[in-house]
Amino acid sequence: MEERPGDDRPQLPQPSLWPVGFAVGIVCLLVGLVVSWLVAAVGAVLALVFGFLWAREVTGGRQPAGGTAPDEPVPSAPAAAEPESGERFPRSRFLEGATLGLGAVIGAVVTLPAAGFALLPGFLKQKAHKVDLGPISDFEENKWKIVTFARDPTHADISRRTAFVRNNGLLNGVPSFTIISNRCAHVGCPVQPGGPVFQKEEKTIKTANGDVLMTPVLPAAGFICPCHGGSYDQEGNRIAGPPVRGLDRYEFDIVNGRLILGDLYSVVKVEGSGKTAKIEKVELHGPGQHADGPESWLYPLQPPH
């Protein structure tokens, strides 16, 4: 046969699917760190499996996935030098593996600490601190108060939050409270009471969590967001504007006659009012995320809290 130009060039390896699978695993891992630990675990498994197969193909010279069929001739490659007498493993293979291994170790040493400091703080210790809002005697029955407190006493300046608190009286012999977050369900702006605020009557309560500021208020028109016109009734139900659901609420407990604030949760709808209200409660959603209806199907997974 007549030789054609380029016949003397070494044949390149066939395309492999392992790098593609490895890339898909890495993408799933990064997305999972934001949306769900399950997705992150699946991504990590995919990355490990395809990364191992890819490394074995590179270092072992095995036939890659998607290569030539078994009955097709495989282009011959120059024969490797025979190992010397007594040599059980070629030096070239050892040097190649040692180089790849050393590169992996250096990459891990450089990457893992930075990734840990950047990603882990957002997922560790997600459970909110319980907050002592003071004795329940400071909350008159059927009266609203604006309560400002530090969610985390160790970071008081950046963890300061505001809630609207109403003592609903006794329900089956147990004190009942309505505690509504002031974070708008549209984009998270601070909601304001639709009524007079009695700043001259405000007072500061000393608690184990630091200072708690209480200001009497009369939200006769409910709560209003000054940013984009969102409007809510006194139970936090959306009645107008762009918010996608009602205002979030806080869980609470009564310990030794003191009001203890718990975790936040989101609310789809509140029927009734005060201590007889029936609350349709769901897990905490972010601002702008629907909690019911077809739109909620776009948010099947919530970030870790």
Q: Would you identify the CATH topology of the domain 131-298?
A: Rieske Iron-sulfur Protein (2.102.10)
The alpha carbon of 141 is separated from its chain's Cα centroid by a whole number of angstroms, namely 37
**C-alpha–C-alpha distance, residues 23 and 89, integer Å:** 32
Q: What is the DSSP letter of 66?
A: T
Among residues 164, 114, 174, the alpha carbon closest in space to that of 144 is found at: 164
Residue 228 in contact with residue 242, Cβ under 8 Å? Answer: yes
- pLDDT by residue for the chain (305 residues), tens only, comes to 555 555 555 555 566 678 888 888 888 888 877 667 788 888 888 888 888 888 887 776 555 445 444 455 555 555 555 555 555 667 777 777 778 777 788 877 878 777 777 777 666 655 667 899 999 999 999 999 999 999 888 777 788 999 999 999 999 889 999 999 999 999 999 999 999 999 999 999 998 888 999 999 999 999 999 999 999 999 999 999 999 999 999 999 999 999 999 999 999 999 999 899 999 999 888 899 888 888 888 776 665 55
Q: How many helices (H) and strands (E) does the chain have?
A: 3, 13
272 vs 236: CA distance, rounded Å: 11
Kindly list the domain boundaries of the chain, sorted by start residue: 13-66, 131-298
CA distance 61 to 45: 23
